[in-house]
Amino acid sequence: MHIRVINPNTTTDMTSAIGEAARLIAAPGTHVTTTQPAHGPVSIESHFDEAISAVGVLEEVLTGEREQVDAYVIACFGDPGLQAARELTRAPVIGIAEAAFHMASLISTRFSIVTTLGRTGIIAEHLLDQYGFRHHCRRVRAAEIPVLDLEENADAALDRVITECQRAKEEDNIGAIVLGCGGMAKLTGQIRDAVGLPVVEGVTAAVKLAEALAGLGLQTSKHGDLAFPRPKSFVGRYEHLSYLDLQSKDRG
């Protein structure tokens, strides 16, 4: 089984850290590869960043289709381009926020999210509504650290995240914590040990869900809105996407 983990930002160190966490959790026999767009933001901290990064995510999925990838993980907590990516393939495509919400709801009746910045916490709230998990989440908290601090100022960033997770445990009446950034993938064990609650991290959760779906032979439905997009002309910088013939390359 080949799982492709796509980091939607363009920071190579973060892509490497995400890949390391994914490979550590993957089952024997699962081949995990990581990639990132050639163009786009170095971190994703706004709706604008997400919109720009989504095109790169989709191009990475198209590349994966030529390589016969079995499942994809979009490793940003905003799940940028998720539904559009699902249109491009029959393979399962898992966003890490959606995966983390599902996993947390299976082990606790209430959870809180701890993310990087307050503004990205609002984006997480939108996703809770969209995915139907609002009633499971007690609070979305922000450590108020830039995403790149997780790589460039790692010790201080970890301390801020742990402090916010401890506050969540003490104040929110929860059973689990969801980490709200793909860049936190390598921190899960340290946070869990420090806080003493189950900690759900989206990259690893998504890898296990991708393995399960692919192992069950469950594919993205091509009936309805996730059908392959109709081939059409694109102009300018997106001309290379003109007349995509995905169905003729369909793996059935």
Closest CA to 209 of 88, 12, 30: 30
Task: Collapse the DSSP code of 140 into the 3-class scheme (helix H, G, I; strand E, B; otherwise coil) and give the result.
Answer: strand
The predicted-structure confidence for 155-194, as pLDDT tens digits, reads as follows 999 999 999 999 999 999 999 999 999 999 999 999 999 9
Radius of gyration over alpha carbons of the chain, in Å? Answer: 18
Alpha helices by DSSP H, listed for the chain, are 12-25, 47-66, 82-87, 96-107, 118-131, 149-152, 154-171, 188-195, 202-215
The residue type found at 192 is R
| pTM for this predicted structure | 0.95
Provide the CA 105 distance to its chain's centre, in angstroms. 17
pLDDT > 90: what percent of the chain? Answer: 94
Structural contact between residues 95 and 83, judged by C-beta atoms closer than 8 angstroms: no
Q: Which pLDDT tens digit goes with each residue over 3-40?
A: 999 999 999 999 999 999 999 999 999 999 999 999 99
Question: What per-residue confidence (pLDDT) applies to 22?
Answer: 98
How many whole angstroms separate alpha carbon 147 and alpha carbon 65?
30
- Over the chain, what is the mean pLDDT? 95
Numbered ranges of CATH 3.40.50.12500 in the chain: 2-95+206-249, 97-201
The candidate with the shortest Cα–Cα distance to 176, out of 205, 154, 208, is: 205
Rounded to an integer, what distance in angstroms lies between the CA atom of residue 160 and that of residue 150? 10
Collapsed DSSP state (helix, strand, coil) of residue 130:
helix
- What CATH class does 2-95+206-249 carry? alpha beta
SS3 readout for 64-85: HHHCCCCEEEECCCCCCCHHHH
DSSP secondary structure string, 143-187?
Answer: ----TTHHHHSHHHHHHHHHHHHHHHHHHS--SEEEE--GGGGGG
pLDDT exceeds 60 at position 251: no
Residue 243: count of CB within 10 angstroms of its CB: 9
> For the domain bounded by 97-201, which CATH number is listed?
3.40.50.12500
What gap in Å lies between CA 151 and CA 11, rounded to an integer? 9
Is there a contact between 82 and 210 (Cβ–Cβ < 8 Å)? no
Angle between helix axes 154-171 and 188-195 (nearest 10 degrees) is: 40
Do 75 and 102 touch, CB atoms closer than 8 A? Answer: no
Could you report the per-residue pLDDT of 119-130, keeping only the tens digit for each? Answer: 999 999 999 999
